[in-house]
Amino acid sequence: MQDRQNKCGFTSKLSTLKIVDSLAEITRYKDRELLERSLAVTLSELFLSDEFRFYRIITVTIDGVTELRLSLLTYANQGVVISEHQIHENELPSWLLELVTQAVETQNLTERVDPETGATHIIYIVYTKHDDIYGMLLHKSKQPSFESRRLIYGLLRIYSNYLALLEESHRDTLTNLLNREILDTEITKIIVSHAQYRSCETAKRRRSFDGCHAWLCLLDVDHFKRINDEWGHLYGDEVLILLARQLEKIFRKEDLVFRYGGEEFVTLFRTFSHEDAQAICERARNTIAQYSFPGVGRVTVSIGVAEIAHQPGSSIVIGQADKALYYAKEHGRNQIHFYDDLLTRGLIKPHAINQSNSSIDFF
């Protein structure tokens, strides 16, 4: 009897230590993607026989009909993260998609047994600090327990709270846009992703990647100093705040919008063609030019764009967009120029790479 109690006590203590270690592992990252991967791995290590998939939930309204779209963020099984391309059953069956819809509508933990495999699928909804739905965790287990559900729910709450703190630290205090601190990280992710896809042996994946292009749009308010001088800094700040809101409406939820510094903004977005990128940037320029800013009136912007592809580092991408922006400023303002277009036409010289600059992320 005493031996059994000692064994149970040891097991309980070991489990507690493992959970504490798991919390330390989850909260040691400051990057959201790494944080999500760490969470999935941690849960998978705690429940080795189970599968965990983390999805981003995006709400899209088409012709008045609201649809839920899922974007797979990370997947872990037996303590190992498996990339999206290694998952054979990436598409969820219809009955599971209905379960996701039910979980979103009721905002409660929802579960159902797969009639074919007998495994239980449990859906946990993940929220932002404003109680908006951010994503969901799909837990697949053959022997779920009340204790496992409580532990996973608790870890998700810790993740959500920690993510909220990270989000606050990554936001510009004036406009609430993403700040410059994480811009380099996001650009580097795209460069690395590009390199990984280009090295892929499967021709189908290459064609799929070639059909999608990533862009950095550097936007600068024209004659902003004049606005501050004539109207005062309070009006200047209001222009920046309203401009930030306009950019959030123009670009999609999955695009990233940053305040780069002063009156400069950056957006990272993807399109399937150069023409689409031009159309998006032109819509941004025209929408802003047509907007009436209170007290100030019309304000225009100049835009420089660079494609994010095979550059050796984030500083090079920003430098190329800045070179295109400078050309726009020097040739009349209120216009858009793409770095590669200017280079092809011989209107600018290639952006110089300063290898002594320690901020460049060479690979």
- Active-site residue, from 36, 186, 238, 263: 263
Contact criterion met (CB below 8 Å) for 314 and 184: yes
The 3-class secondary structure across the chain, one letter per residue, is CHHHHHHHHHHHHHHHHHHHHHHHHHCCCCCHHHHHHHHHHHHHHHCCCCEEEEEEEEEEEECCEEEEEEEEEEEEECCEECCHHHCCCCCCCHHHHHHHHHHHHHCCCEEEECCCCCCEEEEEEEECCCCCEEEEEEEEECCCCHHHHHHHHHHHHHHHHHHHHHHHHCECCCCCCECHHHHHHHHHHHHHHHHHHHCCCCHHHHHHHHCCEEEEEEEEECCHHHHHHHHCHHHHHHHHHHHHHHHHHHCCCCCEEEEEECCEEEEEEEECCHHHHHHHHHHHHHHHHHCEECCCEECCEEEEEEEECCCCCHHHHHHHHHHHHHHHHHCCCCCEEEHHHHHHCCCCCCCCCCCCCCCCCCC
In the residue annotation, 45 being an active-site residue is answered as: no
Query: Which amino acids are annotated catalytic?
Result: 263
